[in-house]
Amino acid sequence: MSSFMDLRGWAIEMGRLAEEFVAGFEAVHAYPPGAHTVCTVPAAGGVVSATALARQGVAGPLLEYYSHLGSVALPDLGTGIWIDDVSSLTAQVETGNYPNRLTGVVDDMVSVFATDGGGAMYALSHTTGCVYHLTAGALTGSTFELEETGYRIAAEDLWSFLKQVHTHLAAAVEAQHATLREAHGR
C-alpha cells in the first residue's frame, strides 16, 4: 500500500487542507462548518491498535493505516466522510453494526472502516484489496446481503481511496478559493 512516510505525509497534507477548507467554508456557504479532523496516533499506540484489530480479523492494509493514523472527519466534504478510529471501529464490529461478510451479488470477506453522511459504508475487501462503497442491502448479524445496485468499487485499494479523499478535499478548497475570488472581483 504505502510507507509510513506516505501515510504521515497524507495526514499532514489532509490536516492542512482541512484547516484551509474550514477557514473559507462559512464565507462561501453562509453557515459554519462542522469539525474537520485528521488524527495521527503515537507509534506505540499504533502498534497496540493494529494488534487488537488483527485479532478481530481486520484486513492487512487497514492494520498499516491504524498503525500510524486515527480518525478522519470531513463532515462538509460532499455528503461527508468519516474514517473510524480504532476504538470506534472495534465498537462497531463488536456491536454488529459493521459486517465482515458480503453476500448476494458479491461474496467477500470485508473490513468496514468508514461511513458517509448518507448512511453508506466503505469496506476493504480481504480478497482483492479493493474498497467497496456499500449503499443498499440488509445487515443480518455480521453479514451484509447486497442488493443488485447496492454497491460500487470506490477504489482499487486503500491507498487509492485515501488519494481520492485527498483529491476531493483539494478540489473543494480550490472551488472555495475560486468562489471567493469571484465574489471579490479578482
Q: Set out the domains of the chain in order of their start, with CATH numbers.
A: 4-161 (3.40.1580)
Radius of gyration of the chain (CA): 17
CB–CB of 1/61 below 8 Å?
Answer: yes
* DSSP symbols for the chain: ---HHHHHHHHHHHHHHHHHHHHHHHHHHSS-----EEEE--HHHHHHHHHHHHHTT--HHHHHHHHHEEEEEETTSTT-EEE--HHHHHHHHHTT-S-SEEEES--EEEEEEEEETTS-EEEEETTT--EEEE-SEEEETTEEEE-TTSEEEEESSHHHHHHHHHHHHHHHHHHHHHHHHHHTT-
Structure confidence at residue 153 (pLDDT): 96
* Claim: this prediction has a pTM higher than 0.75: yes
Look up cell 492494520; give the residue: 63
Q: What is the mean pLDDT of each run of 10 residues along the chain (186 residues)?
A: 67 95 92 92 66 74 86 94 89 86 93 93 95 93 89 95 96 91 76
CB–CB of 136/104 below 8 Å?
Answer: no
Other CB atoms within 10 Å distance of the CB of residue 157:
17
